[in-house]
Structure 1
Amino acid sequence: MKFVNILINLVSVILLVCGCLAKPSNRETIMENEKELYSNFILRWTVIEGTGDIEIEIQANCTGWTGISFAEGQIGQPGSYSDVIMGGFNDDFQKGYSEDRHIDLENPDPANGHLFDDSNDILLKNARYEEPWTIIRILRSLNTGDKQDIPIVPGPMTVGWTYSSTDDTSLGHDTAGIGRVTFIPL
């Protein structure tokens, strides 16, 4: 029995020295895909194999918040909604921020803006400002199971993009647009 304990301790030390029991890596995920949605807006992403997760990087030429949305349906169409990811880097606090929101596209109410999701299903991995770019990285599941989120599925998806000159996410965007992105090939 004493021999087994010594053997287990020895194997643990060897694994620890080799890094097998070390903390998760702080290395940044390499973004395998990129799409320029506008001259001032670049989207990068990688589907992390075997995890069911996607890491997304948003790079916008702005000094405030930026974001993307995944839409189902069209404005005014019954049951239409949009899943929104917003974030930025606050220079005053030297800190990044992210928000998981949604919009009811059936009856969008500009007075209410984007509504916070009941469940925050995004993880802010990194945020920074590199003149003139605000760059954020988030991690989320391809399918969160949250009714306020839209699953990221194979094939082209409608993606809204937006950015602002302020970190106040309750204020509207300066620039916005819509594009088609294939996060996962068919």
Structure 2
Amino acid sequence: MAGVLDTAATVSWIRAIGAVIAEQEQHLTTLDRTIGDGDHGANMRRGFAAVTEKLDGEFADPEEVLKTVATTLISTVGGASGPLYGTAFLKGSMAVKGRAELDGAGVAAFIRGAADGVKARGKAEAGDKTMVDAWLPAAEAAEAAAADGADAQAVLSAAAAAARKGAEETEPIVARKGRASYLGERAIGHRDPGAESTAFILGAAE
């Protein structure tokens, strides 16, 4: 990726996400089997496989690419992940409406829109042991990097690093949302699968 995320680079990033999610399917399934329904890996792989099939078309700008991701995930991913990730990409696309390419500030705007969308849709807060625990620090890191003048690649890298750290930090948390919340203290020591897949999504462009 160059210093900006144009339409072609956005498509390349989404393709990379599909490849990473397919590669990590079993890992995500193992995490989800421990504290969830056990279907997160398969659902995410199916969703991004469907997304990849739609990337051969013509797109006017990054917003259109990201909106296509959103609608496809909503229609193909089961469980809570479809609506949450669909909302992330939809709200993120709305935050970059009309931009022919995304510089560092544009990428940060996308990530902030996605984070706020997930938080609102899932009615979750930081510390609830959900994907919000990866999205919110990613948004903060992205905004800080953009404020320092970082380009699109550097902003995504900063966001990915923060998301990975956020995912790791869900391990000692007692879940307050989702199926994992039923486990109480038995969820301690296990990483949230949604936070982990968020880190993979943001890190796919690295």
TM-score, length basis structure 1:
0.29
Please identify the structure whose Cα radius of gyration is greater: 1
TM-score, length basis structure 2:
0.27
Return the structure number with greater relative CO, CA threshold 8 A, min gap 6: 2
Structure with greater helix percent: 2
